[in-house]
Structure formats: structure tokens, C-alpha cells
Amino acid sequence: MKVLFLGDIVGRSGRSAVAAHLPSLKAELGIDFTVVNGENLAAGFGLTQATCEEMFAAGVDVITTGNHVWDQRDIVPVISSDSRILRPLNFPAGTPGRGACRYSDGKGRSVVVINVMGRVFMEPLDDPFAAVAGELQRHLLGQGTDFLLIDVHGEATSEKMAMGHFADGRASLVVGTHSHVPTADAQILPQGTAYQTDAGMCGDYNSVIGMEKEEPLIRFTKKMASGRFTAAMGEGTMCGVFVETDDKTGLARAIHPVRLGGRLRPERP
């Protein structure tokens, strides 16, 4: 199976990059399923029904999120009813929505997507490793599950790497989000799980992690706020990872970084 995962989509620049590059890339590579992290879809803060529909129209199958998932309050009823939009699995019991779900690709194969949030330098949520362990027991790779993807939304590279090794051999892909910078460690772990510490963002890299530079610079240099953060609006780069798996085992045969458009050096499978 061929699956594409795209990192945090930041505002209009990120949405435009995905709309511009995703349809042709899907056709070129024969991509079977596409997952994106969309917690910054709406002007960099949260997501709305309209911005989600824009991504689905571009060819996205599932949207994962993270710590900004509730920034737009009108997303609550949407995320409660639309199984294509996930929130981190390790939110407390009773939180609206779901953190993992089973889907089908266009050929009837089973794809499980798990969205979890780290706790190091992040909000003190439930144990992400225990939450993922439960889902890995319910969805056995190669035994009714053809592809299993884990989006680890976290600040600490060590925590994301640990999750990769924790799920090695039991997931097709473990990929990190949140830091908005693509890492150079795309690899297949010893037991066959594809891994990259951070997929990077889809957005304008002439920025401070997707935000216009002026306000972050003022806050760093003067230790005071002068206004709100606003999403940068220049040409965006679409960043992510492309994974191809063995149909019998669900384990990875190849992982390739993806970078198209904007300021970063292009990279394609």
C-alpha cells in the first residue's frame, strides 16, 4: 500500500500548497490513502468545518490534530460526528471525538489511524504509550489491518523517537508532528516500521514556524507581547512522508520525505 502523510497545515498558505500539489502527486505515485495534521488549518489556530472540507476536496482522507484542536469552538460538534477528523487519543475520557479509527482505502484495504499527543513540554494528558498500546492490541498489523499509522504530536524528539521504537513491528508508520520543521531521519526501524521524528509543516517557511516574523521577534527580544500571532501568507511548502508497505505484513518497504513548492529544497520519492 502507498500512503502519504503531510505535516501540520498552517493557514491559507499551507492549505494552498496542499491544494496545488496533492492531486498531481497522488496521481503520479498512485497514492492509496492520505492523512494530514490539520490542527493549524484555520489561520494557524485550530480548524473549522470549512477548512476541513477544503482539504477533503483536495484529496485528503483523514485529518489528525494536536494541542490546538479546540482553538475554534465550532469544531466541537463537527469532530464529534465526523470520523475523518481525529483528536489526540490520550485526552481524558468523555472528551468529544475519537483518537483512533479504522478506515478503508479505495481497494477495500483496512487503514487504522491513531492520533496521540506527547506529554514532555506539553499539556499533562493521559499516558500516550498506554493509550497506543491498547489500540495496537485491538488492531493487529497483518491480521485484518493492512496499514497502521501513528501521528505523535509532541515537542520532545526523544518522546517521539521512543514511540517509534515502542511501536516498531506493530505499526506501518510512526511520524511526529508539532514542531513544524522536517527532520532528516526518515528510516525503517529494525522491526519494519517506517519512522520520521517530524514531518514538517505545510506552510510558508519565510516565517517563525508558520507565523509572521514580527510578533515572535518582539516577544523573544523584549519579553512582551505587542499583538496577536498571524499566519504567514507567502508561498507554502508541502511537507510530509511517503510510505510504501508490503501487502502481506503491513510493514514498510520504503519511506521517502516529501517537500514540494515554496522555499525548501524539493524532495520527492
3-class DSSP assignment, residue 211: strand
CA-nearest of 78, 83, 141, 88 to 116 is: 88
Domains of the chain in sequence order: 2-260 (3.60.21.10)
Catalytic residue among 21, 68, 139, 180: 68
Q: For residue 181, how many C-alpha atoms fall within 13 Å in the half-sphere facing its CB?
A: 10
| DSSP-assigned letter for residue 117 | E
The whole-angstrom separation of Cα 216 and Cα 22 is: 30
Q: In the prediction, which pLDDT does 135 show?
A: 98
The whole-angstrom separation of Cα 237 and Cα 65 is: 19
Supply 156's cell numbers: 520532545
Q: In the prediction, which pLDDT does 176 show?
A: 98
Cross-strand bridge partners of residue 101: 113
The whole-angstrom separation of Cα 218 and Cα 147 is: 45
Sheet of strand 173-177, all strands in order from the earlier edge strand to the far edge: 100-104, 110-117, 147-153, 173-177, 194-196, 187-188
Torsion, Cα 32 131 169 242, to 10 degrees, reads: 30
Q: Are 15 and 51 in contact (CB under 8 A)?
A: yes
The whole-angstrom separation of Cα 235 and Cα 23 is: 18
The whole-angstrom separation of Cα 259 and Cα 129 is: 30
Q: In the prediction, which pLDDT does 16 show?
A: 98
The whole-angstrom separation of Cα 229 and Cα 47 is: 16
Per the annotation, the verdict on 68 as an active-site residue is yes
CA-nearest of 202, 207, 259, 199 to 231 is: 207
Q: In the prediction, which pLDDT does 63 show?
A: 98
The whole-angstrom separation of Cα 154 and Cα 47 is: 18
The rounded Cα 103 to chain-centroid distance in angstroms is 16
3-class DSSP assignment, residue 138: helix
Cross-strand bridge partners of residue 100: 114
The tens-digit pLDDT sequence of the chain (269 residues) is: 999 999 999 999 999 999 999 999 999 999 999 999 999 999 999 999 999 999 999 999 999 999 999 999 999 999 999 999 999 999 999 999 999 999 999 999 999 999 999 999 999 999 999 999 999 999 999 999 999 999 999 999 999 999 999 999 999 999 999 999 999 999 999 999 999 999 999 999 999 999 999 999 999 999 999 999 999 999 999 999 999 999 999 999 999 999 999 999 999 99
What global pTM score does this model have? Answer: 0.97
Q: In the prediction, which pLDDT does 220 show?
A: 96
